[in-house]
Amino acid sequence: MISITLLSIVGIIIMLLHSPQWTRTGRWVGVLGTIAALFLIRFDNTILVPTIEVTRLGNLWAGLILGLLLLILLLIPNRNALHPVKNDHLALLIFATVGALILTRFDHIVTLILGLEILSIPLYVLAAQSHTSRSYEASLKYFILGAFSSAVLIFGFALWYRSTGMLMIPGPIVTDMVGQCGIVLILGAMLFKVGLVPFHYWVPDVYEGTPTGFTAYMASIPKVAAFAALFRVAQLLPSDTWISIATILGSISIIWGSLGAFRQSKLKRLLAYSSIAQAGFWILMLNSNQFSVYFGFAYATASILLLWILDIVEANTRSHSFTGLIHQNRILGAIAIVALVSLTGIPPFAGFYAKYSSLYATMDRGSSIAVGIALIGSAMGAYYYLRHIAQIITHPETPYRIEAPIVGILSASVAVGVLVIFGLAPLF
């Protein structure tokens, strides 16, 4: 609980530093606070709050979330961005992360709902920050659907409670009709949060309407936290039911997301659809284990890097794709190529091992049809990701230098190094 408390305090401090001259200070307070929280994860305990559970795996998820937050805090405050990041926004990001951390720790229904709400409400606000009609639309859509899904979740838990008389997770497996209805509602709401088919319709519009810097957040931390929670909630289902649900929905998501991504020329919509496909790969892992954490790391890091670069490109050239990026800024171009290659799942980057372990888990439990579908999805993924590499390399019509903040470049390079090292390490 210490890390969660610390992060909340950091968020409040940043919120208080809201006047413009404190912008830089706020950012560095956030960075230091995140690093401190990262170190304090190990000392988390349940002394004051009995409704959480501290496990090693939970620590791993929390460490991933804090690491991603650190990366985002180092990257996105870009002064030249279309939508400058103020300290209020940083505070919202940090509050949302507090919710995400709670989602890695809950063992009680109330904590789960609390975590989901703390995570979601700042995102509804952040989605509207472009102050364009599209952005308001995204925010409203996200808000209405999110609130609806929360209601469904709570109703599901009410039914489940009626059937079992328990509020703790993991609980007993229900067999009566009412309890099973409850489980279905709970699962639907959780699948909405991770953006899997058939609960994915909000993803592309919300991604597109949100300011790109915040999309980087939205594509990473909420998704990681939602998956941590989903895998935990899935323990309420009989395991074979869960296996078939996850395999079917995973395969459909991979195909659906890939088909949607196929014809997107806007990078943001492409990433939105591809995040549906990636979620399909992710859910094929079925359980919360170190491999699913690893998948989260590989997917989220690459997405953050790409959206950060897109943010810079949009601010400089008003273009929505990476055409000619390598001629405008070598390092950004190289980082974008690495991130795209990693998302495709090509070694030596982390994306390969993530995809490999997901496919291996699927193959190991004998669902070779799902492996086949996932491989077809990967092949389509290779097309739509790597097509953008071709765009990065083409010569732009107007050669134009793109400047990037040095802190961002350094942190992104470190992130690329981590992608390579973590990509190769599990193979030895």
Partner 1 sequence: MDITHGLVGAPIIFALATIWAGSRWGTIVANTLNLITIAMTGIAFFLIYRGILPASVDAVSLVFVGLTTMTVTAVLAVATQNTPNYSRFAALVFLTQLGLNLAFLQNSALWFYIGWEIALIPSLLLIFGWGGLGRKAAGIKFLIYTVAGSLGMLASILYLYSHTGTTDWALLSITLLPSSVQLIAFLGFFVAFAVKIPVFPFHNWQADTYSESNLPTAMLLSAVFSKLGLYGLYRLVTSIAPDATTTVAPFIITLCVIGSIYAAILAFSQSNLKRVVAFSSMSHLNLAAAGFFADRLLGLPGALLQSIAHGGVAIGLWWGIGILKNRFGHTRLHELPGGITSENRWFTIAFFMITLAAMGVPLTSGFPGELLLIQSITHHGIGIGILAAVPMILGAVYMLRAYQSVMLGDPKPSKVTIQLNRLDYVMGTAIVSFILLIGIYPQLIFRLFTLR
* The token pair that represents 180 in the structure block: 């099973």
Verify binding: residue 42, partner 1, rule CB under 8 A: no
Query: With respect to partner 1, which residue has the nearer C-beta, 78 or 344?
Result: 344
CB of 270 to partner 1, least distance (A): 15
Q: Of 35, 393, 407, 409, which lies in the binding site for partner 1, with binding defined by CB under 8 A?
A: 393
Query: Cα separations (Å) of 156 from 148, 174, 182, 323?
Result: 12, 13, 4, 47
Q: Of 84, 188, 348, 405, which lies in the binding site for partner 1, with binding defined by CB under 8 A?
A: 348
Query: With respect to partner 1, which residue has the nearer C-beta, 168 or 427?
Result: 427
Verify binding: residue 364, partner 1, rule CB under 8 A: yes
133 and 159 Cβ atoms separated by less than 8 Å:
no
Burial of 312 (0-12, 13-18, 19+ CB in 10 A): buried
- Report the alpha-carbon distance of residue 115 to residue 409 in Å, rounded: 32
Which SS3 state, helix, strand or coil, does residue 168 take? Answer: strand
- Report the alpha-carbon distance of residue 54 to residue 208 in Å, rounded: 36
Report CA 303 to chain centroid distance, whole Å: 8
Query: With respect to partner 1, which residue has the nearer C-beta, 123 or 337?
Result: 337
CB of 401 to partner 1, least distance (A): 18
Query: With respect to partner 1, which residue has the nearer C-beta, 147 or 386?
Result: 386
Q: Of 19, 80, 239, 368, which lies in the binding site for partner 1, with binding defined by CB under 8 A?
A: 368
* The token pair that represents 270 in the structure block: 């492409």
Verify binding: residue 389, partner 1, rule CB under 8 A: yes
CB of 343 to partner 1, least distance (A): 13
CB atoms within 10 A of CB 221: 27
Full DSSP string of 329-364: -HHHHHHHHHHHHHHHT-TTSHHHHHHHHHHHHHHH
Query: With respect to partner 1, which residue has the nearer C-beta, 66 or 326?
Result: 326
Q: Of 28, 39, 383, 400, which lies in the binding site for partner 1, with binding defined by CB under 8 A?
A: 383
Determine the angle formed by the axes of helices 109-127 and 133-164, rounding to 10 degrees: 170
Query: With respect to partner 1, which residue has the nearer C-beta, 265 or 394?
Result: 394
Verify binding: residue 356, partner 1, rule CB under 8 A: yes
- Within 8 A by CB and 6+ apart from 68, the residues are 220, 221, 224, 297, 300, 301, 304
Give me Rg for the CA atoms of the chain: 20
Exposure string (b/e) for 72-90, b if CB count within 10 Å is 16 or more? Answer: bbbbbbbeebebbbbbebb
The span of 61-69, 180-188, 210-218, 352-360 binding partner 1 (CB under 8 A) equals: 352-360
The length of the chain in residues reads 428
In the block, tokens 């804090």 appear at 66
Verify binding: residue 386, partner 1, rule CB under 8 A: yes
CB of 362 to partner 1, least distance (A): 8
Query: With respect to partner 1, which residue has the nearer C-beta, 157 or 352?
Result: 352
Query: With respect to partner 1, which residue has the nearer C-beta, 47 or 390?
Result: 390
Burial of 407 (0-12, 13-18, 19+ CB in 10 A): middle
Q: Of 12, 168, 379, 410, which lies in the binding site for partner 1, with binding defined by CB under 8 A?
A: 379
Verify binding: residue 360, partner 1, rule CB under 8 A: yes
- Within 8 A by CB and 6+ apart from 295, the residues are 281, 282, 285, 354, 357, 358
Verify binding: residue 409, partner 1, rule CB under 8 A: no
- Number of chain residues interacting with partner 1 (CB under 8 A): 27
- Report the alpha-carbon distance of residue 11 to residue 126 in Å, rounded: 15
The span of 44-52, 130-138, 214-222, 390-398 binding partner 1 (CB under 8 A) equals: 390-398
Verify binding: residue 372, partner 1, rule CB under 8 A: yes
Residues 285-344 close enough to bind partner 1 by CB under 8 A: 337, 341
Verify binding: residue 262, partner 1, rule CB under 8 A: no
Query: With respect to partner 1, which residue has the nearer C-beta, 9 or 363?
Result: 363
CB of 54 to partner 1, least distance (A): 34
Verify binding: residue 384, partner 1, rule CB under 8 A: no
Verify binding: residue 140, partner 1, rule CB under 8 A: no
Residues contributing to the site for partner 1 (CB under 8 A): 337, 341, 346-348, 352, 356, 359-360, 363-364, 368, 371-372, 375-376, 378-379, 382-383, 386-387, 389-390, 393-394, 427
